[in-house]
Amino acid sequence: MTTATKPGVTAFATPNDREVEFTRVLDAPRRLVFDAWTQPKHIQQWMLGPEGWTMPECAIDLRVGGSWRYVWRKADGTEMAMGGTVREVKPPELLVTTERWGPEWPETINTLRLTESGGRTTATLTVTYPSKDARDAALKTGMKEGMDPSFARLEELLRKLK
């Protein structure tokens, strides 16, 4: 289970075989958080990942069956595109979307749940992979949690090679 209680810290968990969960407490009411998460003019200001990326393209048709597409760009011209459809939307508490990076990539289901307490919002983002293998392959080489010994050794190997 997730235990994110402090603002400013992202809790990471793998609640079951196919999921990855990010939880963060945000110091704002959830209707603001929901807007920040679902309106392109807001999304383009923050959902940018590490320094150096911008989001020149951002479109989301916020209704069941509507599609979304985000394109990120780095200063050197590298681009990354993601898209999918909206499966469920219940402002200001729930947004379920599918996400795919490209035809070769497994489609994930991303569920954002917002709960509010005392003016603060807990945002729980759950990414569901099509299989345990797909999730593990995506996670285990680079992350610490739940690693089997052979993956731990792979990590060691990677450190040596760096």
Dihedral sign from CA coordinates of 156, 104, 73, 125: negative
Nearest to 39 by CA among 80, 95, 81, 100: 95
Out of 13, 36, 96, 109, the residue judged to bind another protein by CB under 8 A: 36
Nearest to 62 by CA among 84, 47, 45, 46: 84
Give yes or no for residue 115 binding another protein (CB under 8 A). Answer: no
CB within 8 Å of 141: residues ≥ 6 apart: 151, 154, 155, 158
Give yes or no for residue 49 binding another protein (CB under 8 A). Answer: yes
Q: Which residues pair with 111 in a beta bridge?
A: 96, 126
Out of 48, 59, 64, 94, the residue judged to bind another protein by CB under 8 A: 48
Give yes or no for residue 7 binding another protein (CB under 8 A). Answer: yes
133-152: contacts with another protein (CB under 8 A)? 133-134, 136-143, 148, 150-151
Give min distance, CB of 9 to another protein, in A: 9
Return phi, psi of residue 98, to 5°: -95, 155
Which is closer to another protein, CB of 30 or CB of 96?
Answer: 30
Dist CA 83 CA 23 (whole Å): 22
Residues near another protein (CB under 8 A) are 7-8, 10, 12, 22, 24, 26-28, 32-33, 35-36, 42, 45-51, 78-81, 101-102, 104-105, 125, 133-134, 136-143, 148, 150-151, 153-155, 157-158, 161-162
